Amino acid sequence: MVVFLQALLAMAFLGGVFAQVAIIPGTAANEVENFPPYESVRLPFVVSAVVFVACLQVLAVALGGMLHRAGEGTVFESGALTWTNIAIGAIAAGALVLAWLFVYVTFTDIPSPADGMEVLGLWMGSAVGTVAAVGVALLVFVGRQWLGRAIDQRAELEQVA
């Protein structure tokens, strides 16, 4: 099961690379071609998307590291905290990207080919995504605290034995 999950994470990582190199820039180019006023916001959106995908890739690597530890039976050793810290950092960085996007959309006059609903959707989505990402980062942080306690308790038990 661990190997299967690691393979899925590797495929997700590679899919992220493909998205960063081809899909995100290509989609942005198509949108600008269909609606030229988007050119003014193309770069900030492309950079935000590429950086957000990079955060997801770092998270995938951290999860892969934790899965490796699970397979080896070394989850309750201090090295596991490093992977958890990396995961928390990646989630927090993703939240920052979404928060930046929320602020950018709030204060930038973004052209709209129709009634502006896509801009409203982006604004609301970035707000909800920011709150959700912060919530997930906090949950993982609490899990990290529990993991730290479990590691300490295991070390105490090993001293007794």
What residue ranges do the domains of the chain occupy? 2-160
> Which tokens is 96 given?
């920052």
Q: In Å, how far from its chain's centre is CA 67?
A: 18
At residue 156, the 3 state secondary structure works out as helix
Most distant CA atoms of the chain, gap in Å: 71
Torsion angle of alpha carbons 113, 120, 56, 45, nearest 10°?
A: 40
Angstrom distance (rounded) from CA 145 to CA 152? 11
Contact, 88 vs 59, CB < 8 A? no
Render pLDDT for 81-128 as a digit per residue (tens, 0 to 9): 999 999 999 999 999 999 999 999 999 999 998 888 999 999 999 999
Instruction: Note the pTM of the prediction, 2 decimals.
Output: 0.93
C-beta neighbour count of 66 within 10 angstroms: 19
Render pLDDT for 19-52 as a digit per residue (tens, 0 to 9): 999 999 999 999 999 999 999 999 999 999 999 9
pLDDT at residue 16 is higher than 90: yes
Question: b or e along 11-46 (b: 16 or more beta carbons within 10 Å of the residue's beta carbon)?
Answer: eebeebeebbeeebeeebeebeeeeeebeebeeebb
Degrees to nearest 5, angle at CA 72 with 69 and 75: 40
